[in-house]
């Protein structure tokens, strides 16, 4: 912008002073207001039209116009939106004019919060303020889609949300972004914003994801953030309550886990995020309350699970048992414990008569084999011995099992080789061994 020129809007006249920063759509400058007492307390954001050509130029202009239009509509009813004081931006693009809007000069939230490094209460207060702003936006069908620390400002000690260039309403008929275009912050963003799907029209879950990343960054004092979902077993990203001198971070753990699910349909609402932040603040203010103790118990329980490898794993769900056996049967030897009898099988199939049983078979034509029907009880995996055992239930003989001889009859050599279908109807344990394991 020309520092000698006087710019005029509907309310204010000003001259441009110092350059402050570049943004995604333009530049920000300090200004001197010539016709008001707010002389040195404003900045101007200018759209840099010369950065684009053709259709892209028109698209960026329309996005800037929509940002102004939307903020002017919302700012009177939603506290915490960085207000536009004045603007110049005709509805149709005019290449001979610079387009801009005026705002109050505010402080960077990143710098502000850096000075509050150890005060969790203050941080949670501002994060709750941000959740209030987003709740109000979502209640009206709007998504910001670009929530990040750099778009948060402090004005008169209050948190303000700025940069509505990607704002979207669920009822919008015109897209301000193109097919497969990347939206919002790249590194910390959800995958649905990495490539814009024009059929997608509700981005509130994307706001929730980005909000959670801001929560983590503010509490962790980390400017980079992390990619993907929050996992408690990642020690680098884990928020350890003891490091902060508080009773528990459990409400925040739940917020981060439930807000950063990769499946956006599984994410919680911004209202639920607000409730969990309130719970977190409550546990800090009342560390000896029953609620704080319950949260701490659940937190410790999860820490035990994530930080201590179990000596024994037990699988009781039939479908999980079937999946495990289907994967391991072809690469192992199976031995019935006690009898040391080898089961020669390399495949498994569910028994069509009863979905709680299965049959072990051998598909090889080179050996004489049997088929084994059994009802699984559970699989036991010992991590220290690297042992996998299948425990078989004892089941009474019924008419539906008539195609099979019992295991006891097989051991007594009854029926000879006439029937090769064997029913493991006793309480048995089958151990799985690798080919080279003796």
In order of their start, the domains of the chain are 7-104 (3.30.200.20), 107-307 (1.10.510.10), 313-433 (no CATH)
Measured CA to CA, the distance from residue 194 to residue 177 in angstroms comes to 12
Measured CA to CA, the distance from residue 197 to residue 185 in angstroms comes to 17
The confidence score (pLDDT) of residue 417 equals: 52
**Which of 403, 405, 399, 438 shows the shortest CA–CA distance to 424?**
405
Backbone angles phi, psi at 125, to 5 degrees: -60, -45
Q: What is the pLDDT of residues 66-82, one digit of tens each?
A: 999 999 999 999 999 99
Backbone angles phi, psi at 379, to 5 degrees: -110, 140
**Which of 79, 80, 53, 102 shows the shortest CA–CA distance to 160?**
80
pTM for this structure?
0.78
Q: What is the pLDDT of residues 47-67, one digit of tens each?
A: 987 777 877 888 889 889 999
Would you call 135 exposed, middle or buried from its count of C-beta atoms within 10 A (0-12, 13-18, 19+)? middle
- Residue 242 is encoded by which pair of tokens? 């003891």
The confidence score (pLDDT) of residue 223 equals: 82
Contact 348, 392 (CB under 8 A): no
Measured CA to CA, the distance from residue 359 to residue 325 in angstroms comes to 11
Measured CA to CA, the distance from residue 13 to residue 324 in angstroms comes to 73
The confidence score (pLDDT) of residue 438 equals: 43
Residue 411, CA distances (Å) to 43, 359, 360, 380, 403 in order = 91, 19, 18, 26, 17
| Residue appearing with tokens 């051998």 | 362
Non-local CB neighbours of 429 within 8 Å, separated by 6+ positions: 336, 337, 338, 389, 390, 391, 392
The confidence score (pLDDT) of residue 355 equals: 80
Which H or E run includes 19? strand 13-22
CA torsion 142-147-150-153 (nearest 10°) is 50
The confidence score (pLDDT) of residue 423 equals: 93
Q: Which residues of the chain fall below pLDDT 50?
A: 414-416, 437-438
Residue 270, CA distances (Å) to 24, 73, 137, 436 in order = 26, 22, 10, 55
Measured CA to CA, the distance from residue 331 to residue 342 in angstroms comes to 14
- Residue 329 is encoded by which pair of tokens? 């049967």
- Residue 372 is encoded by which pair of tokens? 């084994």
145 backbone φψ class: left, alpha, beta (φ>0; ψ -120 to 50): left
The confidence score (pLDDT) of residue 45 equals: 95
Residue 272, CA distances (Å) to 128, 279, 291 in order = 11, 11, 17
**Other C-beta atoms lying within 10 Å of the C-beta of residue 333:** 16
Non-local CB neighbours of 215 within 8 Å, separated by 6+ positions: 127, 252, 255, 256, 273, 277
């Amino acid at each position: 912008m020309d520092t000698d020129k006087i710019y005029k809007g509907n309310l204010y006249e000003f001259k441009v002073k110092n350059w402050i920063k570049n943004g995604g759509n333009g530049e920000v400058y300090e200004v001197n207001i010539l016709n008001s007492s707010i002389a040195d307390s404003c900045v101007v954001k200018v759209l840099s039209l010369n950065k684009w050509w053709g259709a892209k130029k028109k698209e960026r202009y329309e996005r800037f116009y929509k940002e102004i239009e939307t903020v002017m509509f919302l700012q009177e009813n939603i506290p915490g939106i960085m207000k536009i004081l004045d603007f110049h931006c005709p509805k149709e693009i005019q290449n001979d004019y610079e387009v801009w809007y005026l705002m109050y000069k505010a402080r960077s939230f990143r710098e502000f919060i850096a000075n509050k490094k150890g005060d969790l209460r203050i941080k949670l207060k501002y994060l709750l303020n941000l959740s209030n702003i987003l709740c109000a936006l979502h209640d009206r069908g709007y998504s910001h889609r670009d929530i990040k620390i750099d778009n948060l400002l402090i004005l008169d000690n209050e948190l303000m949300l700025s940069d509505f260039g990607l704002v979207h309403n669920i009822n919008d008929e015109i897209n301000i972004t193109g097919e497969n275009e990347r939206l919002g912050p790249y590194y910390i963003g959800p995958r649905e914003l990495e490539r814009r799907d024009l059929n997608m029209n509700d981005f509130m879950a994307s706001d929730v994801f980005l909000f959670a990343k801001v929560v983590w960054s503010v509490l962790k004092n980390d400017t980079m953030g992390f990619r993907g979902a929050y996992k408690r077993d990642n020690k680098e990203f884990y928020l350890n309550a003891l490091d902060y001198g508080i009773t528990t971070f459990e409400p925040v753990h739940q917020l981060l886990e439930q807000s950063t699910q990769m499946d956006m349909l599984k994410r919680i609402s911004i209202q639920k995020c607000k409730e969990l932040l309130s719970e977190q603040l409550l546990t800090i203010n009342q560390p000896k309350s029953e609620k704080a103790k319950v949260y701490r118990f659940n937190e410790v329980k999860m820490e035990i699970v994530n930080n201590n490898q179990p000596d024994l794993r037990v699988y009781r769900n039939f479908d999980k048992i079937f999946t495990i056996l289907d994967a391991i049967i072809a690469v192992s030897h199976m031995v019935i414990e006690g009898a040391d009898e080898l089961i020669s099988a390399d495949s498994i199939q569910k028994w069509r008569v009863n979905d709680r049983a299965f049959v072990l078979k051998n598909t090889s034509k080179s050996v004489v084999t049997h088929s084994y029907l059994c009802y699984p009880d559970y699989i036991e995996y010992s991590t220290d011995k690297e042992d996998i055992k299948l425990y078989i239930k004892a089941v009474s003989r019924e008419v539906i099992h008539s195609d099979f001889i019992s295991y006891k009859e097989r051991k007594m050599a009854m029926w000879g080789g006439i029937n090769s279908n064997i029913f493991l109807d006793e309480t048995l344990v089958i151990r799985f061994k690798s080919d080279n394991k003796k």
